[in-house]
Chains A and B, each alone.
Chain A
């Protein structure tokens, strides 16, 4: 594999790390979800970069399109859950939720 691939993978790893840190430390439900979004940016960067490095860019694009479609579905579901939670508790604070830890 060539070195450009490693460069992109290094940046993708940074993005995934930032997202995971957000998931572990933040308390706002929407903020947690922004963390998930950052992780998925890292993943789609890694996919397209892999295709680029392997000269397989068309397949990589097809995969990334599917990935983004899935991401949209997950985002819509998650935001619907967040809005419903807010209707119950009037708050977005994770500490106000009885069971939720982590």
Chain B
């Protein structure tokens, strides 16, 4: 359990770092490290597929996309964040942590829940046979994403 808690704390720490760092490149790398930690947490929850997916896609692909964007927008990258935002953050964060802790401790043992239907088979079977419709949705989203990028980066050939 201690390892889990340490990993979760690391995840939160790196996420906070990703937000606090002024330098966008450092922020993106912190985000990737946070994803990596999340992937390890998933592995420890006996969810190897999503762990691998998180590490390869979120820590890999999305970070690459972020870094490409940062590189393409380099010269305008220095945006002065407001001083107040970084001042207030630790205060609000600690208040939220305390609140979160007490709410969750108050909820211990108080949440009623039904037993889920036990599941059989492998991950592939569940994905393909139980959540089949989700795959149709995934196809739709991928279409939407690809077409969106095509539309946004199209050459502005105004065919008059």
Chain A residues near B (Cβ < 8 Å):
1, 3, 6-11, 13-15, 17-19, 21-22, 25-28, 30-31, 34-35, 37-38, 41, 44-45, 48-49, 51-52, 54-66, 68-77, 79-84, 86, 89-94
A52 to B152, CA, bound (A): 40
**Interface SS, A side:** helix
- Cβ contacts under 8 Å, A22 to chain B: 19
Cβ contact within 8 Å between A59 and B18:
no
- Cβ contacts under 8 Å, A41 to chain B: 11, 15, 34-35, 38, 58
Q: List 10 A-B contacts (CB under 8 A).
A: A10-B104, A11-B8, A21-B92, A44-B50, A56-B116, A71-B58, A73-B145, A76-B148, A77-B152, A83-B69
- Cβ contacts under 8 Å, B109 to chain A: 3
A95 to B70, CA, bound (A): 19
**Interface SS, B side:** helix
- B54-88 to A contact mask, C-beta < 8 Å, 1/0: 10011001100110111011011101111011001
Q: Which 8 A-B pairs have CB atoms at the shortest separation, nearest pair first? A: A73-B145, A25-B85, A80-B152, A58-B126, A28-B79, A91-B76, A10-B104, A61-B50
Cβ contact within 8 Å between A92 and B79:
yes
Cβ contact within 8 Å between A68 and B137:
no
8 Å CB contact of B45 from A10, A26, A28, A52: A52
Minimal Cβ-Cβ distance residue in B for A38: B15
8 Å CB contact of B130 from A13, A28, A62, A80: A62
